[in-house]
Amino acid sequence: MKINKAVIATEPKAHLSFVELFLGKGVSLLMDKPITAPIGLSSSYEAAKKVYQDYLKIKKMLEGSNVKFVIQCQRRNHPGYIFIKSYLNKIIEDYQLPITYMDIYHSDGSWYMPNEFDNREDHPFKYGYGKLMHSGYHFVDIFAWLQESNKHSKSYNPDRIKVYSQSQDVSDMLNVIDKDIYKKLFSSNKLDSFFDNYKKKNYNRYGEVDLFSQIQFLDRNNLLTSCTVNLLKSGFSRRAWLDLPEDTYKANGRVRHERLNINIGPILNIQVHSYQAYEIKDRENHNTTNIGDLNHFDVYIFRNSQLIGGKVFEKYNINDFKKYEDDSLGVNEDARLECLKNFLSDKETGSNFIEHELTNYLISLIYLTLVRKHKNKIPYIESKFL
């Protein structure tokens, strides 16, 4: 039986090899993000550039091909974000004013114990990449995807990108949360031997724990759109144990805090608030859309109503976009499933490979700034707009 579709869900270091294999045989692909993750991203200029170079290599492989290549990036299929993009399209087209500012915050609640930075293979740090190539990809992609709405403004024509970044790295974390704090929190001496020896190890080539970036789009030195991206691995967590459980992904204290703030100048502000206090394992009692529960996702819209009409303020719950029943897998999980179903049935997914070019270009630029930081240079870069 001939294979005509494949799903790639491996650790991203292996993505490129599988892509080359399947595309070479004309097999359509659904692949988890990120597209590739070269080793040494935060410390090597060559590796940082390779993110975008890999993208262009695959793009060339797809030229003249009929195969479909979809990136599983679920927020592009999320009904709340789809509503926001549609609304942005309308306002920008009606008033010809682009997105002037966006602020994105995400904390995934994945608290790594000090000894785990060396040995974990799922969402690793030891290969030179971290939060940005874990869940962080989604949020650079949200900016790249939503800013497409600016194309509805006829005068919007950026020609340059500026990026400035800082990171909190493994060595920073070990300094902030030290042996005495772990001992007090967990009433255990289990990590003493690690802390007695960790300074002998060089963590300079490990990936970023937290990332703080400012991205700006300019036209002939005039700032058009500015975005801040704050991505935390070290944020609020429900983890209260030292040893890893069998399920290190969804049963290890992981809770999501997600926030988005968008301004279209002085006429419109849109905010997303999505905060969990409970884990997936608590689904039986907390599978609602209330704040703190697993499917919490609220949208606030503030309007200069005397100029653009509508209500001054409206609040939407995820149920206003799609009803979630008690047996739902979850808002993001259902979006992933929607993407998978559309891929298998040859329907439009809204997340084709070709639509991820700006995302991967920005990720390359961000890592270039982190490389500069690790080489004691100003963590800033300026580049042409795609």
Residue 349 lies in a domain: no
- Is 15 a member of any domain? no
Residue 288 is assigned to a structural domain of this protein = yes
Residue 38 counted as domain residue: no
Q: Which helix (H) or strand (E) is 61 found in, with range?
A: helix 45-62
- Phi and psi, residue 138, nearest 5°: -55, -35
pLDDT for 326 equals: 60
Residue pointed to by tokens 């995820």: 318
Q: How many domains would you assign to the chain? A: 1
pLDDT at 2: 85
CA distance 163 to 226: 10
Q: What pLDDT score was predicted for residue 281?
A: 84
| CA distance linking residue 262 with residue 230, whole number of Å | 14
Q: pLDDT tens digits for 181-214?
A: 999 999 999 999 999 888 888 899 999 999 999 9
Q: Smallest Cα–Cα separation from 131: which of 177, 167, 176?
A: 167
Bond from prior residue into 34 cis (ω within 30 degrees of 0): yes
Residue 10, pLDDT score: 92
Tally of CB atoms within 10 A around 224: 21
pTM over cut 0.85: yes
CATH of the domain at 134: 3.30.360.10
Considering the domain boundaries, does residue 284 fall inside one? Answer: yes
Q: Residue 329: what pLDDT?
A: 75
Give the angle subtended at the CA of 368 by the CAs of 366 and 104, to the nearest 5°: 10
Q: Each residue of 363-382: pLDDT tens digit?
A: 999 999 999 999 999 999 99
CB atoms within 10 A of CB 322: 16
Q: Is residue 5 part of a domain?
A: no
The bridge status of strand 313-317 relative to strand 298-303 is antiparallel
pLDDT confidence of residue 280: 84
Domain of 198, in residue numbers: 75-330+355-384
Q: Any idea what DSSP says for residue 276?
A: B
> In what helix (H) or strand (E) does residue 162 lie, and over which residues does it extend?
strand 160-169
The reply to whether 118 falls in a domain is: yes
Chunked into runs of 10 residues, the chain (386 residues) has average pLDDT values of 90 94 95 96 97 98 94 95 98 98 96 93 94 96 98 96 97 93 95 89 93 97 97 96 87 94 98 95 88 95 98 96 73 91 94 97 98 97 96
In a domain, 255, yes or no: yes
Distance between CA 149 and CA 90 in Å, rounded? Answer: 9
